[in-house]
Structure 1
Amino acid sequence: MFTLQIEHGIRDFDMWKAAFDRDPVNRAASGVLSHRICRPVDDSHYVVVELDFNERGQAEKLLANLKDRVWNSPAAAPALNGSPQTRILESAD
């Protein structure tokens, strides 16, 4: 299993979550099996998102779509604050 991990600052969680729920990259059609949203206990203006995939290529393609279609668009990502940090992880067990 592969996980696309995304971390970034946000201006407002409710605004960010509404944009995430609109799903502008169609996560299910992109191969996302499940997702988790985490927030640091000491920073309400930061999120960590983990998206799980069967194949590495699916994670790479969704990341490219996020960079091209979402993160460059204030309409698609109205609460984004700064540049996201990303990595693709492979399950080790």
Structure 2
Amino acid sequence: MYVLRVQHSVPDYAAWKAAFDSDPLGREKSGVKSYRILRPADDPGHVMIDLDFDTAAEAEALEAALREMWTRVTVAVDPQSQIVEVVETRQY
């Protein structure tokens, strides 16, 4: 599994969440299997989003679409992204 990790500041979380929920890029159609939204406990104005994919190619394609979209939006400040491969996971 591959994870596209996105993080950025959000001046207005409610506005950002509404934009995220509108799903302008079509996450499911783009190959996203699941996602997680995280916020630091001490900084609710920052978000991290993990988007899970079966293939690196799907993650790369959505990352490219996100980078293009970021040139047109104001709800995300200084967005950064990275694709990582899950090499091991365990639940207790």
Does TM, scored on the shorter chain, surpass 0.5? yes
Q: What corresponds to 1:21 in structure 2?
A: 21
For 1:26, give the aligned amino acid. G
Once the two structures are TM-superposed, the CA of residue 25 in structure 1 deviates from its matched residue by: 0.6
For 2:87, give the aligned amino acid. A
Alpha-carbon distance in structure 2 between the residues aligned to 1:58 and 1:11: 29
Q: What corresponds to 2:75 in structure 1?
A: 79
Alignment RMSD, CA only?
A: 0.8
* Percent identity for Structure 1 against Structure 2: 42
1:33-72 aligned at under 5 Å gives the runs 33-68=33-68, 70-72=69-71
Once the two structures are TM-superposed, the CA of residue 85 in structure 1 deviates from its matched residue by: 1.5
Once the two structures are TM-superposed, the CA of residue 86 in structure 1 deviates from its matched residue by: 1.0
Once the two structures are TM-superposed, the CA of residue 63 in structure 1 deviates from its matched residue by: 0.4
Spell out structure 1 runs of 4+ moving beyond 6 A. Answer: none
Secondary structure of the structure 1 residue equivalent to 2:49: strand
TM, length-normalised to structure 2:
0.92
Q: Deviations over 1:5-54 (max 9, x none)?
A: 00101101110000000111100000000000000001111000000000
Unaligned runs of 5+ in 2: none
